[in-house]
Amino acid sequence: MARFGQRTKINPGIVGESSMSDVAFLLLIFFIVSTTFPEIGLTLILPSKAGEVKEVARQNVMQIITARTGAYFVGTEETPTSIRQIKGRVKERLTENERLIISLESHPDAPYGRMIDALDEVMLSYSELQQEGVSRDRRISLKMLDVE
Amino acid sequence: MELRRKARTGAKIPMSSMADIAFLLIVFFMVTTIFKLEQGLAITLPRSEAGEKIPRERIAHVWIDERSTILIDDLVVGLDDIEPMVTAKIRENPALIIAFNTDDAARYRVVNQAMDRLKRANALRVSFTTMPEGQ
């Protein structure tokens, strides 16, 4: 006679592991597909070729000149300005004058990277001023010096 | 008397190390694969602190290397090809941003000439791609 209650069926508790790899691959592929590396840049809007040429008062323009050697000159000054001083000077002028246009002028043979360094400092000045509660429109102009 | 052995051995292959093998293969292929570079130009981007993120789907890339070679989205172009190419691109997507990926040591002259052509093509949104500071 069968004795009930004495059935000892041991369940060996196995968790299916074979689909672990499927799950891992699914996650891997999901992250590969969804990851995008952000591209970072300094954005500007160029003036349109068709637009009229406006005359601007000289005191409303701050020239930052990148020389052939990569040195910076502000306005008509004879002594170069170091890259570290640019931000302070730009901020000072911008606080005084809300219509200020920053004109970044470069020698044709100036290294592009040096111009970008100056542009970076100018951009930083605008955002730092914004944080200090002084908001100014970004009025930046890029120009190549006429040397030939 | 005949003894019959009733030994049933379930044929089981351990699958748990499958994942290890697969990962090993992945890592091997990841390490050995060399990606084709989009630009084909060796460029050291300038660095910036004030760089902003640019929406990827609206970008057309202009690459300029140290020796003034110009590429637009993988094609080597001359200065005079810039205007028609960009005009066509702008027609497709008027909100296009032209991202300049220019070598740190390139001459400003080339960038200026390229920007001039962009102005003619009415592509006025530009961005100078940089590397974030300290990377």
Q: Which of residues 73-92 of B touch A (CB under 8 A)?
A: none
Q: Which residue has the tokens 């100018």?
A: A122
Summarised one tens digit per residue, pLDDT across range A9-66 is: 677 787 777 788 788 888 988 888 887 777 888 888 888 776 677 778 888 899 999 9
Cβ–Cβ under 8 Å, residues B78 and B70: yes
Summarised one tens digit per residue, pLDDT across range B91-122 is: 988 888 898 889 888 899 999 999 988 888 88
- Tokens of residue B34, six digits: 């060399």
Closest CA to B107 of A98, A54, A100, A115: A115
- Write the residue in B18, B54, B105 that is nearest to A113 by C-beta: B105
Q: Which of residues 91-110 of B touch A (CB under 8 A)?
A: 97, 99-100, 102-110
Residues in chain B: 135
| The predicted structure's pLDDT at residue B58 | 83
User: Residue A72 pLDDT more than 90?
Assistant: yes
Alpha carbon of B130 to those of A13, A41, B12: distances in Å?
56, 5, 56
Residue A48, amino acid: S
**Spacing of C-alpha A39 from chain mean position:** 9
CA A120/CA B50 separation, integer angstroms: 6
Report the complex ipTM: 0.71
Closest CA to B105 of B44, B48, B42, B61: B44
Of the given ranges (A4-13, A50-59, A123-132), which has the lowest mean pLDDT? Answer: A4-13
Annotated domain spans of chain A: 60-144
Closest CA to B111 of A107, A146, A147, A124: A107
Q: Which CATH class, in words, describes the domain spanning A60-144?
A: alpha beta
Which residues in chain B touch residue A86, judged by CB atoms under 8 angstroms apart? none
Give the architecture (CATH level 2) of B47-132: 2-Layer Sandwich (3.30)
- Give the list of residues 6+ apart from residue A21 with CB closer than 8 angstroms, or none: B18, B19, B22
Which residues in chain B touch residue A35, judged by CB atoms under 8 angstroms apart? none
Alpha carbon of B31 to those of A28, A97, B15, B23, B53: distances in Å?
16, 56, 25, 12, 29
